[in-house]
Structure 1
Amino acid sequence: MSRSIIEVTARRATRPARWAAAGTALALTLLVAGGAGTAYAATKTQHGPAPVVTRAGLDPSLVTGRGAAVDFLEQEAENARTNGTVIGPDRAAYTLPSEASGRRAVKLTPGQYVEFTLPRTANAITVRYSIPDAPNGGGITAPLHVTVNGGSKKTMTLTSQYAWLYNQYPFTNDPNADLLHPDWWITECACVPAATTPAPTISKPFRPMHFYDEQRLLLGQTYRAGDRVRLSVPPGSNAAWTVIDLLDSQLVAPPRVRLIAANVLAFGADPTGRRDSAAAFDKAIAFAKLTHLKVYVPPGTYQVNRHIIVDDVTIEGAGNWYTIIKGREVALDPPAPDGSVHTGVGFYGRDASAGGSDNVHLSGFAIEGDVRERIDTDQVNGIGGAMSNSTIDGLHIRHTKVGLWFDGPMTNVRVTNNVIVDQIADALNFHIGVTNSVVSNNFVRNTGDDGLAMWSETTSNANNTFDHNTVQTPTLANGIAIYGGRDNTVSNNLVADPIREGSGIHAGSRFGAEAFTGHLRITNNTVVRAGTYELNWNIGLGAIWIYALDKSIEADIQVVGDHYLDSTYNAIMMVSEWSVKDLYSISGVRFKDIRVDGTGTSVLSARVAGSASFENVDARNIGAVGINNCGSFHFTPAGSEFSVTDLGGNDGGGTTGPWLAAWELPNTITCDDRPPVVVPPAPAPW
């Protein structure tokens, strides 16, 4: 979500030790998944072992029924044939492997390759990669050759123009910039520079991040399972190195044709992308509304450099591989009334203050923006405004600021089956009074802030559901975050590899959000390789963390059926910021039927006053004491200010014995402020 200021604490901080955990080293398997809940047998090929197919870098059997059911198969580069170098694992922010799926990738120099064996029939691939920035920022381009079975060569032109951010929030593209906020707390030097004489020197580039991008390629024909896709860096490439993280392969259906429709070509749209087509889209929409037709956008690339305002209209593309609506970012002089200093491609409902839009249905096309820096006042999102009684389905959105940012009040929007990647900020945010809405079966990767968020600023979001989504590698903040609100649900999602200052699933009383009221249900989610290092606090977070900053959290919060796998630090954290630790608490959270497989430190870290209950929480491979109970750090003779209730069936533990030992109840102080990390083994079937 957008942040006007990083929340910091004036606690003593030291430079964090580099996480050098063994990654999830997946054994070669003959079972590969074809989407959530689908599996089939693969056989050894004449060129070597069967391809290793993963979901979020895991054996698919560990996440069955959770996350988005997608039509592509993921193959990690570290499991493929290569003459390059496997990098990682590493979970320290600001490193290439830390931002890679599964925390490992393959680094190629000119002349080297990585080769994938197709696990099933495919005619299209997506490559997630990183190449260096230009010395002074702004990115470079470099070729990558693609061949199948040694046949004819296709060339992808890779770019780092949409990657490589530096410095402090909201970041810069300039690797040589001085501190953006020299008065902010800097953990690397354990000081507030403006109050220190002499001011410390920060090495440059400072905090490089957001390294990866991805590209899609239609192969031109259909290939069979067992065929070999080789990605090679040609000699003489101007990229000193190319990192390949993964390859997704799929069989893309033919373009969808709609004959009876308001075809944008009839209104002057240019499918070659040479001329701006925004006015043609406006004319097609107006005609469709008069004639009660749908708008159809045939295959092609259409240049659109501003918002298309939509209300009471259906717009369909031929499929998001074929219909691409692409725009450049345009500077505004003077700025817009909402504070935007740029505009760009996007489909926007009317502002809620003007009544919003209704009955909008968008499907089957791609939106490709040109956003290369984060300016929080800019409205340069793929989808925006307010849209009630509307659907967003089957879009592919990349290189915008936020994929979908809804400013309510609005109700009954369905966001389904979309792919949202390579965002500067969130993938989706329900902001202000969004109600009775569903976000389901969406795939999110490489966001610069929360993957999916509900932010109840000024007006509560209510009765919304985030269900069966996959969120991978948010480079800042959380996979899924709920900021206040009433009667919302987070269910059946898969979240993997958050990088910094956030974690997998988060419920937070912060950013001026309305209080949590009614209930919050967090059920049957899987979170893997989460529990990140919190930069400002110099401690590890939980895979799920609940945070009372602006006010106490007293709603009915139930966490049921979640799995927390290979957590870098804690599985669960309840926390308040140091300056308000005596003001706010978190009370009555219920955890039931939870599996914790591997933590670097504890199952529960309690750093707040309040209480929680636990029932049928099974844990194994726990690195530190099961409950790290610091309460609000007063350490009274009566015990911790945070009480733990054992409702039975809480089994297992780790290196220090049972995780919920009898002597820890109900509020025994077991506080180790920064326990050492013990690297757990890779997750395995329960």
Structure 2
Amino acid sequence: MTAPQAARRSRPRLRAALTVGACAAVLGAFGAAAPVQGAEAARPSAATADVSPLAGADLPFVSQEAEDADHNGTVIGPDHTQGTVASEASGRQAVRIASGQHVEFTLDEPANAITVVYSLQDGASGTLSVYAEGQRLDQRLDVTSRYAYFDAPWIAGSKTHHFFNHGRLLLGQDLAAGDTVTLRVDPGDTAGDYTIDSVDFEQVAAPASPPPGALDVTSLGADPSGQADSTQAFVQAVAQGRGGTVWIPPGTYRVEQPLYVENVTLRGAGNWHSIVRSSRFINQGQSPGDVHLADFAVVGDVTQRVDSDPDNAVNGSLGPGSSVSGLWLQRLKVGLWMTGTNDGLVVEDNRIVDMAADGLNLNGNADDITVRNNYVRNTGDDALAMWSLPQINRDATFDSNTVIQPNLANGIAIYGGENISVTNNHVQDTNALGSGIAISNQAFLQPFFPLAGTITVHGNTLVRTGAMNPNWNHPMSALRVDPYNHPIEADVRITDTTVIDSPWSAFQFVSGGGTGLAADRVTIDGATVRNVGTVVFQAETTGSATISGVTATGVGVTGVYNCPYPTGIAPMRLDDGGGNSGWDGEWTDCSTWPQPGDTPGEPDPDRNLAAGRPVTVTSHTDVHSGPNAVDGNASTYWESANHSFPETLTVDLGAPTEVGRVVLKLPPPAAWETRSQTITIRGGDQPGSLTDLVASRLYTFDPARGNEVAQTLPGSTEVRYLHLVFTANTGWPAGQLAELEAYAS
């Protein structure tokens, strides 16, 4: 991206702004892990070029980035590092403003409402002043960090995340193209520093009128002021309104207990006008069906992710022939968590933002479902997902959706199912632990139904997607094909794909369970790849794919990384179907993962050989797992179970490698006092035939010397496995290690 400037031309409207330019189980460890590594390094450009949009939803608003607007604040980013505010911003950049500072936007189209994507410091709340054409509005934008700074320590590799929130405001006037809207920190705006990511400008229509014969919830006592609990009025309305329409007029309604709905339409006056305050709006096992939810908002009060709680707008089944359209869903655990029978369900034209977990997840019994033209941003897991369990999903379509900034997982994830289509979607700015699109046979639960029939992945645009997975200790690509628990035997047809500015790679074949299952019958036909940090094809399992018409420019390192795991299986066969260009060359050193900026076949001779390598341990406590010892961050550490010596930690270097020196570290001196650990350093080419490289001895970790020690190994020591045995610790009754570094000399 070009250097930050005080004044910049605004980007085009959001569909145009999306330009070329877990599911907790998916977050789990790789098992034995693939023989690769990665670290944050140089990246492709964070900006996208000014060209026509290729895919995504047709949205009723224009989005502008703060860093492209006129401002006197401080630009943060670009940054892809998990756990930083900039990494969760669209475009990986945002603008931080403090007292007296502003961001000013010039409108591309008429608007009378704004949605601000912002971040505050943890614990802060307050207001932000808004100006239209230089005149401050009487009403300020309410802002809060109450729904930010999430932690999910049960998800391996997760860090504090979810820094941004959406704030909406009707301006009370109609502005024309060329007019200005300014966000300014004025006296009375006491939330500290404000980080502005983007603003959506929208011309909101007047409230709609109720359809003839509709049952108005206020006629049964619902309170549109939001003061009283309107649950009973809604319960009576959906019971009396079966076969017809229940009308939610303009207002704000508190619904504190979930509803059961069947054979009824709930319709509002528009999702800016009819607002339901509820963290559990609909919760039911089965429904006869014919339920239609349209044109209102459901805004929750979910401040933490609790996977066992049904804190969702819809939890369960709406039944066959149902639809969800025109909703605004915000501050829930999941927007739509669909289980049971939902055949023929249509989910369209919704905005799903600020979820603690998924935006939409379809669990089995989901035949002929259509998910189209939705906008999903700032989710805490997969944005749009489908699990083929406990029944098989068939003939589902995910078409023309826009996904921005899913945290901790994928943009669109298909886990099993038969004859599934993922077409014309736009996904951008994935964060940790996920790809833009994942086509996977990961079986979260049983019974699971693997991919079958034809899986169509067509016309999708992926911008700045893919991430460094801290559990696998290597990258995930923009588009991932993953025979995790089952070989892929379906016809996977990936056509007309656009991949722009991937931080790492474009296409990936990996068996995430670590057992090297095959990805066969895959075709990639027609793809434009522009700017990838490392390689175009990242192959880490066996199988075969036919590649045709894939053109690449701006390849960071080389064309192909083809190093299967486990190492004894055949590499992926990439058959040239013709029409390919720009991705010649192959990475030849399977003992290390290429980093952005590496020279093909010539990794840095002074690199840390253990960085990001697979780790196995005899035990660990809480979140202090083995991979922490090779993640390059001395503030994270491995700790074994207490009072259970001996404990071991083993690093797989991927291939026999000459190691001349190891460095052992504990966390920074400010946090850890002096302690001594008794450690034996062993090594060898096979886990069952390791020998002592350095006999058991005492290593003292002294804050005055940085809490680290170095150990030279015997000359010409060539090992694949480095194995540390911990038998005592004077500072804590467990083995502890923040970093194990290994060097050739």
The aligned counterpart of 1:517 is: 452
Distance 1:6 1:222 in 2: 45
Assess if the C-alpha contact under 8 Å between 1:566 and 1:598 holds in 2: yes
1:86 maps to 2:75: yes
Distance 1:18 1:158 in 2: 32
Distance 2:269 2:65 in 1: 30
Assess if the C-alpha contact under 8 Å between 1:473 and 1:498 holds in 2: yes
SS at match of 2:232: helix
Distance 1:2 1:531 in 2: 16
The aligned counterpart of 1:195 is: none
Q: Which of 451, 458, 464 is equivalent to 1:529?
A: 464
Distance 1:469 1:673 in 2: 36
Shift of 1:245: 0.2
Assess if the C-alpha contact under 8 Å between 1:517 and 1:554 holds in 2: yes
The aligned counterpart of 1:627 is: 560
Distance 1:524 1:11 in 2: 31
1:228 maps to 2:180: yes
1:351 maps to 2:285: yes
The aligned counterpart of 2:400 is: 468
Q: Deviations over 1:594-625 (max 9, x none)?
A: 11111101110110011111011111111122
1:10-89 equivalent positions in 2, closer than 5 A: 10=32, 17-21=39-43, 23-25=45-47, 59=50, 61-64=51-54, 66-89=55-78
Assess if the C-alpha contact under 8 Å between 2:530 and 2:553 holds in 1: yes
The aligned counterpart of 1:615 is: 548
Q: Which of 353, 376, 399 is equivalent to 2:307?
A: 376
SS at match of 1:257: coil
Distance 1:276 1:62 in 2: 48
The aligned counterpart of 1:287 is: 240
Distance 2:36 2:192 in 1: 34
1:267 maps to 2:225: no
Distance 1:528 1:402 in 2: 24
Distance 2:53 2:479 in 1: 17
Assess if the C-alpha contact under 8 Å between 2:23 and 2:409 holds in 1: no
1:337-486 equivalent positions in 2, closer than 5 A: 344-348=279-283, 350-352=284-286, 356-387=287-318, 388-486=320-418
Q: Deviations over 1:19-44 (max 9, x none)?
A: 45364346xxxxxxxxxxxxxxxxxx
Q: Which of 435, 439, 445 is equivalent to 1:503?
A: 435
1:561 maps to 2:551: no
Q: Which of 464, 468, 485 is equivalent to 1:550?
A: 485
Q: Which of 419, 423, 437 is equivalent to 1:487?
A: 419
Distance 2:589 2:369 in 1: 42
Query: Residues 389 and 14 (structure 1 numbering): CA distance in 2 closer, same or farther, change over 3 Å?
Result: closer
Query: Residues 14 and 454 (structure 1 numbering): CA distance in 2 closer, same or farther, change over 3 Å?
Result: closer
Assess if the C-alpha contact under 8 Å between 1:123 and 1:251 holds in 2: yes
Determine which structure has more spread, i.e. the larger CA radius of gyration: 2
SS at match of 1:641: coil
Assess if the C-alpha contact under 8 Å between 2:494 and 2:525 holds in 1: yes
Assess if the C-alpha contact under 8 Å between 2:451 and 2:489 holds in 1: yes
The aligned counterpart of 2:116 is: 127
Q: What is the number of equivalent residue pairs in this alignment?
A: 571
The aligned counterpart of 2:258 is: 307
1:249 maps to 2:201: yes
SS at match of 1:403: strand
Shift of 1:407: 0.1
Unaligned runs of 5+ in 1: 27-57, 135-139, 171-183, 187-205, 328-343, 654-658, 680-686
SS at match of 1:127: strand
Q: Deviations over 1:268-301 (max 9, x none)?
A: 1100000111110121222222xx4311111000
Distance 1:15 1:86 in 2: 30
Q: Which amino acid aligns with 1:143?
A: T
The aligned counterpart of 2:646 is: none
Distance 2:159 2:362 in 1: 29
The aligned counterpart of 1:165 is: 150
Shift of 1:14: 11
Query: Residues 20 and 231 (structure 1 numbering): CA distance in 2 closer, same or farther, change over 3 Å?
Result: farther
1:114-193 equivalent positions in 2, closer than 5 A: 114-134=103-123, 140-153=124-137, 154-166=139-151, 168-170=153-155
**What root-mean-square deviation, in Å, do the aligned CA atoms of Structure 1 and Structure 2 show?**
2.2
The aligned counterpart of 2:629 is: none
Distance 1:435 1:441 in 2: 19
SS at match of 2:259: strand
Distance 1:669 1:428 in 2: 41
Q: Deviations over 1:645-666 (max 9, x none)?
A: 1111112x2xxxxx146xx7xx
Distance 2:32 2:147 in 1: 34
The aligned counterpart of 2:475 is: 540
Q: Deviations over 1:119-149 (max 9, x none)?
A: 1111000000000112xxxxx3121000111
Shift of 1:323: 0.1
Distance 1:470 1:368 in 2: 20
Q: Which amino acid aligns with 1:613?
A: T
Q: Deviations over 1:153-178 (max 9, x none)?
A: 231110000010135235xxxxxxxx
Q: Which amino acid aligns with 2:285?
A: D
The aligned counterpart of 2:673 is: none
Shift of 1:440: 0.4
Unaligned runs of 5+ in 2: 1-21, 599-745
Shift of 1:94: 0.7
Distance 2:280 2:514 in 1: 42
1:629-648 equivalent positions in 2, closer than 5 A: 629-634=562-567, 640-648=570-578
TM-score by length of 1: 0.80
Assess if the C-alpha contact under 8 Å between 1:63 and 1:494 holds in 2: no
Query: Residues 11 and 295 (structure 1 numbering): CA distance in 2 closer, same or farther, change over 3 Å?
Result: closer
Assess if the C-alpha contact under 8 Å between 2:36 and 2:592 holds in 1: no
Shift of 1:592: 0.1
Assess if the C-alpha contact under 8 Å between 1:6 and 1:169 holds in 2: no
- Please identify runs of 4+ aligned residues in structure 1 that moved more than 6 A: 12-15
Q: Deviations over 1:200-238 (max 9, x none)?
A: xxxxxx932110001111000101111110101124644
Distance 1:223 1:599 in 2: 40
Percent of aligned pairs with the same amino acid? 39
Distance 2:544 2:565 in 1: 12
Assess if the C-alpha contact under 8 Å between 2:379 and 2:407 holds in 1: yes
Assess if the C-alpha contact under 8 Å between 1:411 and 1:437 holds in 2: yes
Shift of 1:82: 0.6
Query: Residues 441 and 12 (structure 1 numbering): CA distance in 2 closer, same or farther, change over 3 Å?
Result: closer
Q: Which amino acid aligns with 1:642?
A: M
The aligned counterpart of 2:268 is: 317
Q: Which of 523, 526, 543 is equivalent to 1:590?
A: 523
Distance 2:181 2:459 in 1: 36
Q: Which amino acid aligns with 1:540?
A: P
SS at match of 2:135: coil
Assess if the C-alpha contact under 8 Å between 1:420 and 1:427 holds in 2: yes
TM-score by length of 2: 0.74
1:107 maps to 2:96: yes
Assess if the C-alpha contact under 8 Å between 1:600 and 1:623 holds in 2: yes
Query: Residues 211 and 19 (structure 1 numbering): CA distance in 2 closer, same or farther, change over 3 Å?
Result: farther
1:642-681 equivalent positions in 2, closer than 5 A: 642-651=572-581, 653=582, 659-660=583-584, 671=590, 673-678=592-597
Q: Deviations over 1:300-324 (max 9, x none)?
A: 0000012111100011100000000
Q: Which amino acid aligns with 1:620?
A: T
Shift of 1:10: 5.0
Shift of 1:576: 1.5
